[in-house]
Amino acid sequence: MPKLVVGNWKMHGLREHASHLARAIAEGVRSIEGNVQTIICPPFTQLAGVHDIIDASGPTGQFFLGAQDCHTTASGPFTGDISATMLADLGTKYVILGHSERRQAHGETSQIVCKKVQAAEAAGLIPIVCVGETLAERREGRTASVLAAQIESSLTDRFTGVLAYEPVWAIGSGIIPPREELERTAALIVGLLQSHLKADDIRVPILYGGSVTASQAPSILSIGALDGVLVGSASLEAEGFLDIIRVAASFSSPPLIQTGSFRS
The residues annotated with a catalytic role in the active site are 99, 166
DSSP letter assigned to residue 163: E
Alpha-carbon span 110 to 93, nearest angstrom: 22
Instruction: Return the beta strands (E) in the chain as ranges.
Output: 3-8, 36-41, 63-67, 94-97, 126-131, 162-165, 206-209, 228-231
Alpha-carbon span 138 to 23, nearest angstrom: 39
Rg of the chain (C-alpha set)? 17
Triad 116, 100, 169: Cα angle to 5°: 160
